[in-house]
């Protein structure tokens, strides 16, 4: 399984960007959730099951998508010197 990087920016396969804050654990089920913030509009805070966050795009449902995974890590370098 892929690993997640916290304090990093990911691109959703539909094009928007999100800042991953952390991974949280449900106290009852022990299921892992990704806590992330949208980088558009009101910068809403979201959670999604870790397994779903790291899953591959359903290319039968979305045949024109070129991105392999639902969310992909973006390597963004500073322009400041």
Is residue 29 one of the residues assigned to a domain?
yes
Using an 8 Å Cβ cutoff, are 20 and 70 in contact? no
pLDDT (0 to 100) of residue 78: 87
Q: Is residue 68 part of a domain?
A: yes
Tell me if 79 is assigned to some domain: no
What pTM, to 2 d.p., does this model score?
A: 0.90
Would residue 39 count as lying in a domain?
A: yes
Q: How confident is the model at residue 2 (pLDDT cuts 50, 70, 90)?
A: confident
Q: Is the per-residue pLDDT at 1 higher than 70?
A: no
Give a yes or no: residue 13 inside a domain.
Answer: yes
Query: What does the pLDDT average to over 9-26?
Result: 98
Asked if 4 and 50 count as a contact pair (C-beta separation under 8 A), the reply is yes
Name which of 31, 3, 29, 79 is nearest 20 in CA terms: 3
Domain that holds residue 53: 8-73
Count of CA atoms in the C-beta half-sphere (13 A) of 52: 8
Say if residue 81's pLDDT is above 80: no
Query: Positive or negative CA dihedral for 76, 11, 2, 24?
Result: positive
pLDDT digits 0-9 by tens, 44-67: 999 999 999 999 999 999 999 999
- Which domain CATH number covers 49? 2.30.30.320
Please state the domain count of the chain. 1
Tell whether 1 is covered by a domain: no
Asked if residue 2 is part of any domain, the answer here is: no
Ordered alpha helix ranges (H), 26-69:
50-53
């Amino acid at each position: 399984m892929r690993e997640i990087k916290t304090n990093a920016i990911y691109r959703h396969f539909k094009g928007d960007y999100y800042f991953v804050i952390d991974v949280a654990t449900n106290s009852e089920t022990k299921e892992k959730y990704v806590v992330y913030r949208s980088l558009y509009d009101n910068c809403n805070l979201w959670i999604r099951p870790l397994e779903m966050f790291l899953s591959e795009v359903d290319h039968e449902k979305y045949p024109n998508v070129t991105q392999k995974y639902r969310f992909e890590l973006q390597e963004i370098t500073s322009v400041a010197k």
